[in-house]
Amino acid sequence: MIWSRDYTVEELNGRPKGHIGDLIGIEFTEITEDSISARMPVNEKTHQPYGILHGGASVVLSESLGSVASNMIIDSNKYIGVGLEVNANHLRPVKSGFVTGICKPIHIGGKTHVWDIRLYDDTGKMNCVSRLTVAIIPKT
């Protein structure tokens, strides 16, 4: 297990409210030995003007997953993990339902973490692949 302790999905979903992930409906769904998953509705809050999932919403889901994952690994009394670089390739449009993101580590270092995040629609087709680099910085 890569996590600093046992976490629960309920604990991740109980984080403070009012942030962007909460506002667009991101919900954590699974924690495994080396991955976390979350889903996000595809609706008027996450659409772009043409009625399909906004690429920025996909990036918010990706960055939320990777940032939370990094913060589940580090000593939260001493450090915080913050997004340093994110990229995303949007592979196919999604009009409705949910997209589910699965986040797995590529690199876990002392100062940076790199995450692979893949988003899937309700039919299991990948609609986005993303990579997030997280900087591990001292708490001030």
Q: Is the dihedral of CA 22, 24, 25, 26 positive or negative?
A: negative
**Mean pLDDT to the nearest integer, 67-85:** 97
From CA 127, how far away is CA 16, in angstroms rounded? 29
Residues 27, 44, 63, 85: which is the catalytic one? 63
63 is catalytic: yes
The string of pLDDT tens digits covering residues 11-29 is: 999 988 899 999 999 999 9
pLDDT of res. 16:
85
Decide if pLDDT at 49 tops 90. yes
From CA 113, how far away is CA 106, in angstroms rounded? 8
Taking the domains of the chain in order of start, what are their residue ranges? Answer: 9-138
Q: Among 3.10.129.10, 3.40.50.720, 3.30.1330.60, 3.40.50.300, name the CATH number for the domain at 9-138.
A: 3.10.129.10
The string of pLDDT tens digits covering residues 96-108 is: 999 999 999 999 9
